[in-house]
Amino acid sequence: MTDQSDKILNRDLINLANQPYKYGFRTNIEGDTIEKGLTEEVIRIISKKKNEPEFLLNFRLRAYKKWKKIRCPEWAQLNFPEINFQDIIYYSAPKQLEKLNNINEVDPELLNVFEKLGIPLTEQKRLTNVAVDAVFDSVSVVTTFQKELEQYGVLFCPISEAIQKYPELIKKYLGTVVSIGDNYFAALNSAVFTDGSFCYIPKNTKCPLELSTYFRINEQKSGQFERTLIIAEENSQVSYLEGCTAPKYDENQLHAAIVEIIALENATIKYSTVQNWYSGNKKGKGGVYNFVTKRGLCAGNNSKISWTQVETGSGITWKYPSCLLVGNDSQGEFYSVSLTNNYQQTDTGSKMIHIGKNTKSRIVSKGISTGNSKNTYRGFVNVNNKALGARNYSQCDSLLIGNSSNANTFPYIFVQNSTAKVEHEASASTIDEEQIFYLLQRCFCVEKAIATIINGFCSEVYEKLPAEFSMEADFLLSLKLEGSIG
């Protein structure tokens, strides 16, 4: 590229990704917040506040013991100062939230928060085809359409409510996909998780609505440790979406979540994420530390789990949505768009563990890095010796914008039988100035030209998002890019 042609990229691109974070407001809501710090006592307090059965308290305490023995993982391509776990608040709930039977009892201020975020919850305004569970700091505020879903036998509620109402299901499934000592952050979550969503789809049922959880961190010092558990019984289907935002703070907030999903015979679960936690300012100050363990178990034959994620936020992201393909002919999918700007760091990818016969998996990862950010794909494909006829296809494409960003791809492939077919394709590219010139010649402005090229780059993943949200993802990405390119 010549200096002249660099200009075209630099001209407006510089302004392109630095669009202010519009969800950065903080809400003053009187809270029930415990002292910061993590001790066994704190765990007992959390468990007591939630009026939990004893098995759960024991679950937490066992996890806490494990956690103290494990060390924070250092293998990821991420640089961050040591996290002071004693400086974090492990429970923060908006007051007045005892038990909500009626949306009218919810603090209107809270409803306003979600409305501002584009998630109206009141009956008049709520989305008609999506049931939403809204989680504010440590607790779930409201869940829409619960009654309607119950008619189908679909259980959709905050996990704390499920613990009270359906302890048998919780006992049976919690911690079965991600064990309490699975990894450092999973152990932490298992010890201190506060809320999250629970979904149960009964046999032979296609969930009639999209299910969605919306997470919001509000309190400056609080961590968010949510836990989601989805169970799809035989011949059932569900599509689930999570979204998240946080206010802008100069300090880093910790988010360490676990998502466990279980698909029984012939069941299909589609899990989509649009992650837009606060990513820090232009100089990399602040931003959410997002350490998440997401794992799906294709327990039954012919079951299917599909992860789709659009990751644009967080200062640091560490997550590898995975599939354990145990049932014969089961399928796992992972579609990801990950965009990093400024000083964001992302180490993300997927793990596909083939155990059953004729299991199939597919990984499509699109990384876009701009500014001074670091964007790493890390994937693990493991074909067990019993997984005869297993197939995997992985494709990792990186798009680099500007000359200070960084993209890495680390595919690990481990095959233990000779009948498996495993393919991995990877590419790294920059936005071609000839593509931009072509679009400019066709009346596109620079921002539009770049957004169009990037949307094209991500189109394969967008197609996998539920229709209601693919527009949002599109929009989110172009918002993020505004001002970012230089």
Contact 289, 314 (CB under 8 A): yes
Does position 475 interact with another protein (CB under 8 A)? The reply is no
Does position 102 interact with another protein (CB under 8 A)? The reply is no
φ, ψ for residue 135 (rounded to 5)?
A: -110, 125
CB 115 to another protein: min, Å: 28
Q: Is 377 helix (H, G, I), strand (E, B) or coil?
A: strand
Among 458, 476, 477, 485, binds another protein (CB under 8 A): 458
Cα–Cα distance, 290 to 346 (Å, whole number): 9
Cβ-based nearer residue to another protein, 9 or 316: 9
CB 403 to another protein: min, Å: 17
Q: Which two structure tokens, joined as six digits, stand for 383? A: 């074909």
Using the 8-state DSSP alphabet, how is residue 104 labeled?
G
Cβ-based nearer residue to another protein, 1 or 72: 1
Cβ-based nearer residue to another protein, 11 or 386: 11
Among 37, 120, 452, 479, binds another protein (CB under 8 A): 452
Distances (CA, A) of 84 to 53, 245, 280: 30, 22, 18
Does position 4 interact with another protein (CB under 8 A)? The reply is yes
- Residues 430 to 449: which contact another protein by CB under 8 A? 432-435, 437-446, 448
Cα–Cα distance, 257 to 255 (Å, whole number): 6
Among 162, 238, 400, 453, binds another protein (CB under 8 A): 453
Cβ-based nearer residue to another protein, 8 or 413: 8
Cβ-based nearer residue to another protein, 408 or 452: 452
Query: What sign results for the dihedral spanned by CA atoms 459, 463, 464, 466?
Result: positive
Cα–Cα distance, 352 to 114 (Å, whole number): 35
CB 452 to another protein: min, Å: 6
Cβ-based nearer residue to another protein, 8 or 169: 8
Cα–Cα distance, 11 to 5 (Å, whole number): 10
Contact 165, 99 (CB under 8 A): no
The greatest distance separating any two alpha carbons of the chain, rounded to the nearest whole angstrom, comes to 69
| Distance of alpha carbon 335 from the chain centroid | 12
CB 443 to another protein: min, Å: 4
CB 478 to another protein: min, Å: 13
Distances (CA, A) of 70 to 65, 180, 185, 186, 196: 9, 11, 10, 11, 24
CB 485 to another protein: min, Å: 15
CB 444 to another protein: min, Å: 6
Cα–Cα distance, 412 to 383 (Å, whole number): 11
With the CA atoms of 210, 211, 216 and 222 taken in that order, what torsion angle do they form, in degrees rounded to the nearest 10?
-160
Cβ-based nearer residue to another protein, 324 or 363: 363
- Build a one-symbol-per-residue string for 390-429: x at contacts with another protein by CB under 8 A, - elsewhere: ----------------------------------------
Q: Which residue matches tokens 């005869």?
A: 388
Cα–Cα distance, 346 to 351 (Å, whole number): 16
CB 39 to another protein: min, Å: 51
Question: Which residues contact another protein by CB under 8 A?
Answer: 1-2, 4-5, 7-8, 11, 432-435, 437-446, 448, 452-453, 455-460
